[in-house]
Structure 1
Amino acid sequence: MAKAYWIARVDVTDPERYKAYVAANGPAFAKYNGRFLVRGGPFDNPVGSARDRNVVIEFDSLEQARACYASPEYAAAIAARGDGAVIDLIIIGGYDGPQPGA
């Protein structure tokens, strides 16, 4: 079964509200086995637009990724964030097929 991912691009508009969100999102990610692969950090943006912060979270399945977003635990984290950030988020299934050169 393919993994699944949350891919988020974030502009933090209220650092204190965003800190509250970061403190509150752990229970949802733990419950659904979400693992941070990217959590901020330096990046290049050779094409297109960017936001200040990028996050990639891996889940064991698309069902888990979707359930995490719909969970009451994550709803509490969203409430803690309030209007403290502008976020683009996609939930996407991973790929298990052949790779180039294989």
Structure 2
Amino acid sequence: MTAYAIAHLRDVEMCPAIVEYLEKIDATLAPYGGRFLVHGGPVEHIEGAFRGDLIVIEFDDRERAREWYRSPAYQAILPLRTEHATGEAFLIDQVPQPHRATDVLMHALDPR
């Protein structure tokens, strides 16, 4: 099942380390089939407040996403980002298709 690495970054210090991170991240993604779907860009606020940048990277499955994140190549450049930006990062799976909004009720009512 398709999985996504998602990061919400704030307070990014655009410095040489961030430039180096951006120059090197594509090569870390390639062996794992990672593809940028969203990489910052203008946000149209329609509800609430949002500050920072959203990054969404698609992988064929969560295992490939985990392998990428844990890879020596990515771990080597990760401090270039974490030392110059604040935020959250996580992995999440795409919902099985077809999916209806009420499908989440089954898990909310019986979380086993």
Same fold (TM over 0.5): yes
Q: TM-score, normalised by structure 1?
A: 0.84
Structure 1 residues 33-75: Cα deviation after superposition (integer angstroms, max 9, x where no partner): 1000001111134445533111100001110011111110111
Confirm or deny: 8 A CA contact 1:20 1:81 kept in the other structure. Answer: no
Aligned CA-pair RMSD: 1.7
Structure whose residues are more often helix by fraction: 2
Question: Residues of 1 paired with 2:57 and 2:94: CA distance?
Answer: 12
Specify the alignment match of 1:30 in structure 2. 30
Specify the alignment match of 2:5 in structure 1. 6
Specify the alignment match of 2:40 in structure 1. 40
Q: 1:70 to 1:43 in 2, by over 3 A?
A: same
Structure whose residues are more often strand by fraction: 1
Q: Secondary structure at the match of 1:25?
A: helix
Q: Secondary structure at the match of 1:89?
A: strand
Q: Secondary structure at the match of 2:28?
A: helix
Q: Give runs of ≥4 in structure 1 deviating > 4 Å.
A: none
**Greater radius of gyration (CA):** 2
Question: Residues of 1 paired with 2:40 and 2:4: CA distance?
Answer: 16
Q: 1:13 to 1:39 in 2, by over 3 A?
A: closer
Query: Could you tell me the percent identity over the aligned residues?
Result: 34
Deviation at 1:80, TM superposition (A): 2.8
Q: Secondary structure at the match of 1:96?
A: coil
Q: Which amino acid aligns with 1:3?
A: T
Q: TM-score, normalised by structure 2?
A: 0.77
Aligned length: 99
**Bigger mean CA deviation after superposition, 3-12 or 76-85:** 76-85
